[in-house]
Structure 1
Amino acid sequence: MEANFSIPQNGSEVVFYDPTSSRVIWIFLVVVLSITFVLGVLGNGLVIYVAGFRMAHTVTTICYLNLALADFSYMSSLPFQIISIVMNGEWLFGWFLCKFVHMIINMNLFLSIFLITFIAMDRCICVLHPVWAQNHRTVNLARKVIVGTWTLVLLLIFPHLMFLTTVRDERGKVHCISNFESWAATTEEQVKVSMTVSLISAVTCFIIGFSIPMIFIVICYGLMAAKIGRRGFVNSSRPLRVLTAVALSFFVCWFPFQVIFLLVNTGNTETLNNIHMWVNPASTLASLNSCLNPILYVFLGQQFRERLIHSLSASLERALREDSALNSDKVRNLSLQTEDSEP
């Protein structure tokens, strides 16, 4: 059985044709994405409930709340993706949902990494400048930064949405893809515009949506380790432990897709033939990241036996709670200790 798979993900319509492995990949994608949808809706929904309604709004909780909102929004796009996979790439939901669903898919990548970077920078500021953080690190300031982040993401994905539309093929089936007919007069010009837009999209995702934020995260960890002077504090601090797991999870899930996405849009025909079989598995792995964060919040909050005794919502509340070591008295003590140890 031959099948044509089309997995729209983060600014690209990736298509490959493989008669030998198509059935296995089809089943794999549907099963994994279905499990991701169920776990993601339940987990992120619970995080939204706990962080939004059960906990005091702090800088940390509103960051994780917005991260859960981004992941929950992405979960809402999975049923459309699954149905499109089952229909061999055909889009049944019209022009508006074509743009709206892909807007959510693109937003998730940028919002997730930007929010993780902001949390890392916030932790770094608390360690490096505890007194300033105690006086100026406010919820209102954090909300303004997060609103600015949402706005920046919308601006980044807007160009892609301009080209995205529904197109009917020669067999009468409708697909949700980028169309450049109105932007170029001839077929040759359309191909050039398509290649240019795809290249810009791939480079933007890899540099702005992955590489630069990950560099900032690594720098923040390096500065915190240098300032604190003893790595045990970083390892024992629950919020830093949760942040580390969330950042590593994002890197592991998204790095393969980012590399393949970049190669697909910058490589030659020989390169495409060698990597096309990895496109859909990498895309599915990237989707899996959106359901992992709530699991990490719980499993890193306390030991396994304790989690069996306490409710899941209580575990999430403890995992997302502000680090007590960053409260005013202990922060000042930490600052004095680090300053006394410096030459």
Structure 2
Amino acid sequence: MENFEFNDYNGDYENYSYENFTAEEVIDNSSKSCFNDVSCVTVVVVNVVIFLLGVSGNGIVIWISGLKMKRSVNTCWYLSLAISDFIFCTCLPFNIVNMATSAWPFGLVMCKFTSFIMFLNMFSSIFLLVIISVDRCVSVVFPVWAQNHRTVKAASVLVALAWIVSVALSVPSAITRDIKVHGDKTICHNNFGKVMLSHQTIAFSRFVCGFLIPFVIITLCYTIIVLKLKSSRMTKSSKPFKVMSALIVTFFVCWLPYHIFILLELNHHNHSIKILTAGLMVSGTLASANSFLNPILYVFMGNDFKQKFKNCLFSKIENAIGEDGRTTSRYLSRSSSVERKASTHI
């Protein structure tokens, strides 16, 4: 059998390697109809819901934070996250069609582009969460310095750098994507044989850069924040960090299963093809869900939810986002006052 990689469940997520299986096994998987499989239909429906909620929710956040609110460091963070999620959600229909038909009718360019967008969303989201965590940590540990240097311009530069690095790390996913005619279907798959890029190298680099290192940095930042708040006794509540904590936890819950199955797939001959295919399909959908959960967290994780619930949707989002900025500003002001009393050498 000719060696190739084929994806029968999602044109955007990492493919299962069929090069060690017989031609009959490959044909059997590619010829299955999604509409005859309850689990596949369920995943397709879930992705349709993710698309609808993701596009509408992130679109509203972009409109509110980008056009209706005064520019601030916090709105810069939220706007960038919403843009990343919105772009990803707009590409979901291509993958939904691919899941439903087990074929890719959209050509080589879209095959490469949709894969690139997925990893761009993954890297940009986690890098922005790292930046926000470091920003929160610096605001707590060095409040006076943060008061003087925490500016919209500086935030914009950091966001731009995060996007540039994300683009660079996402390029290999576009380079390795290719299309192949398999029977009467065109397949969007990973073709590592046409470029000098190792499947193992790409998978481990995504895990290390897109998950492991960010996880360590974010965990360290929030550990420092908790210890600082407890030692200073300046607040009895973690409400200023509730929204961002929820965003971070949600990101890792959504993305960890995906990375686990991608790493398992590297040693695919030791695992069941059905388990890996199902695991990658479900974990890929769970990763997609992160893009529509963020706007919900903006609204429902803010303080005084009951009062905001009575307001219109736009007002709730604006208040929830602005609330985080006001709380941080109040905390910085109080912290600055304490620091000035403690030392005259600032």
Question: Fold-level match, TM-score > 0.5?
Answer: yes
Q: Aligned pair 1:288/2:301, yes or no?
A: no
Q: Aligned pair 1:85/2:85, yes or no?
A: no
Hey, what does 2:42 align to over in structure 1? 28
Report 1:175-254 matches (<5 A).
175-180=187-192, 182-183=194-195, 197-229=198-230, 233=235, 235-238=237-240, 240-254=241-255
Q: 1:325 to 1:110 in 2, by over 3 A?
A: closer
Cα distance, 1:77 vs structure 2? 1.0
**Cα deviation digits, residues 74-130 of structure 1 (max 9, x gap):** 101110000111111x11111221222211111111111111111111011111111
Hey, what does 1:13 align to over in structure 2? 15
Q: 1:277 to 1:30 in 2, by over 3 A?
A: closer
SS for the counterpart of 2:189 is strand
TM-score normalised to the size of structure 1? 0.85
- Structure 1 residue corresponding to 2:111, chosen from 90, 98, 108: 98
1:237 and 1:323 in contact (8 A); partners too? no
Cα distance, 1:275 vs structure 2? 3.9
Cα distance, 1:61 vs structure 2? 0.8
- Distance in 1 (CA, whole Å) between partners of 2:64 and 2:160 is 21
1:9 and 1:106 in contact (8 A); partners too? no
- Distance in 2 (CA, whole Å) between partners of 1:312 and 1:62 is 20
Percent identity (aligned): 33
- Distance in 1 (CA, whole Å) between partners of 2:235 and 2:326 is 12
Hey, what does 2:337 align to over in structure 1? 333
Hey, what does 1:157 align to over in structure 2? 170
SS for the counterpart of 1:177 is strand
Q: 1:214 to 1:237 in 2, by over 3 A?
A: same
Hey, what does 2:21 align to over in structure 1? none
Report 1:260-279 matches (<5 A).
260-265=261-266, 267-273=267-273, 274-279=275-280
1:43 and 1:295 in contact (8 A); partners too? yes
Q: 1:139 to 1:94 in 2, by over 3 A?
A: same
Matched positions, count: 320
- Distance in 2 (CA, whole Å) between partners of 1:36 and 1:302 is 26
Cα distance, 1:46 vs structure 2? 0.7
**Cα deviation digits, residues 180-227 of structure 1 (max 9, x gap):** 5544xxxxxxxxx6xx62211210111110111011111001111222
Runs of 5+ in structure 2 lacking a partner? 1-6, 18-25
SS for the counterpart of 2:105 is coil
The worse-fitting range, judged by mean Cα deviation, of 34-43 and 90-99 is 90-99
2:111 and 2:178 in contact (8 A); partners too? yes
The one-letter code sitting in structure 1 at the alignment partner of 2:137 is: C
Hey, what does 1:186 align to over in structure 2? none
Runs of 5+ in structure 1 lacking a partner? 184-192
Report 1:1-150 matches (<5 A).
5-9=8-12, 12-14=14-16, 17=29, 23-88=37-102, 90-150=103-163
- Distance in 1 (CA, whole Å) between partners of 2:71 and 2:119 is 27
SS for the counterpart of 1:7 is coil
- Distance in 2 (CA, whole Å) between partners of 1:93 and 1:108 is 21
CA RMSD of superposed structures (Å)? 2.5
1:98 and 1:176 in contact (8 A); partners too? yes
- Distance in 1 (CA, whole Å) between partners of 2:336 and 2:281 is 50
SS for the counterpart of 1:284 is helix
Cα distance, 1:164 vs structure 2? 1.4
SS for the counterpart of 1:92 is coil
Cα distance, 1:14 vs structure 2? 3.5
- Distance in 1 (CA, whole Å) between partners of 2:312 and 2:91 is 29
- Distance in 2 (CA, whole Å) between partners of 1:104 and 1:241 is 29
- Distance in 1 (CA, whole Å) between partners of 2:180 and 2:276 is 27
Cα distance, 1:333 vs structure 2? 3.2
Q: 1:73 to 1:155 in 2, by over 3 A?
A: same
**Cα deviation digits, residues 32-83 of structure 1 (max 9, x gap):** 0011111111110111011101111111111110100000001011100001
Cα distance, 1:234 vs structure 2? 7.3
- Distance in 1 (CA, whole Å) between partners of 2:287 and 2:242 is 22
SS for the counterpart of 1:233 is coil
Cα distance, 1:154 vs structure 2? 1.1
2:11 and 2:99 in contact (8 A); partners too? no
Q: 1:182 to 1:226 in 2, by over 3 A?
A: closer
Hey, what does 1:173 align to over in structure 2? 185
